[in-house]
Amino acid sequence: MRTSLAWIATVVVVAGVAWFARDAPWARRLADGWPGPHANAAAAPPEGVHKCRLPDGQVVYSDRPCERGAHEQAMGGGTVTTVPAMAARRPASATSAGLIQGFDPATVDRLREQQIDAAVNR
């Protein structure tokens, strides 16, 4: 009984240390050498993918070379998943979407006055 409690305590302590140290450099190096679900994934990014830092500091990934004024940066490992672009939908008009037009300011004032009169004269 004592032996099993000691093993359980050891496992809990090791799991806790691993959890809290998951972002530590030594833990990253250990995890990089550990086979995982992406162990066979290519280390290099797919051809045609460009990582561009825009003048305002924003990072953009594109299938085209960086625009003038942007600096291309090396991609630091990991995986990049791309999907085909979706065709843009045309916005539906207000009438086809079932929306009604709002009231003009004069109508809003008239309705407000009616509601105030109804509330006061109860």
> Does 30 map to a domain?
yes
DSSP string, the chain: -HHHHHHHHHHHHHHHHHHHTTTSHHHHHHHHHS--TTTTS-SSPPTT-EEEE-TTS-EEEESSPPPTT-EEE---SS-----PPPPPPPPPPTTTTT--PPPPHHHHHHHHHHHHHHHHT-
Task: Identify the pLDDT of residue 59.
Answer: 87
Q: How confident is the model at residue 24 (pLDDT cuts 50, 70, 90)?
A: confident
Task: Identify the pLDDT of residue 81.
Answer: 72
Between CA 106 and CA 115 the distance in angstroms is 14
Between CA 2 and CA 8 the distance in angstroms is 10
Task: Identify the pLDDT of residue 110.
Answer: 93
> For the stretch 22-32, what's the b/e string if a residue is b when 16 or more beta carbons lie within 10 angstroms of its beta carbon?
eeeeeeeeeee
Q: Which residue has the tokens 């600096």?
A: 71
How do residues 57-113 score in pLDDT, each as one tens digit?
Answer: 888 888 888 888 888 888 776 776 777 777 777 666 555 556 667 888 899 999 999
Q: How confident is the model at residue 47 (pLDDT cuts 50, 70, 90)?
A: low
Between CA 18 and CA 30 the distance in angstroms is 11
Count the domains in the chain: 2
> Does 72 map to a domain?
yes
Q: Give the mean model confidence (pLDDT) for residues 34-62.
A: 70
Its pTM stands at 0.31
> Does 96 map to a domain?
no
Query: How many CB atoms sit inside 10 A of residue 70's CB?
Result: 19
Is the per-residue pLDDT at 50 higher than 80?
yes
Structural domain containing residue 70? 43-81
26 with 51, same domain: the answer is no
> Does 15 map to a domain?
yes
Percent of the chain with pLDDT over 90: 8
Is the per-residue pLDDT at 42 higher than 60?
no
Please give the single-letter amino acid code of residue 33. Answer: G
> Does 102 map to a domain?
no
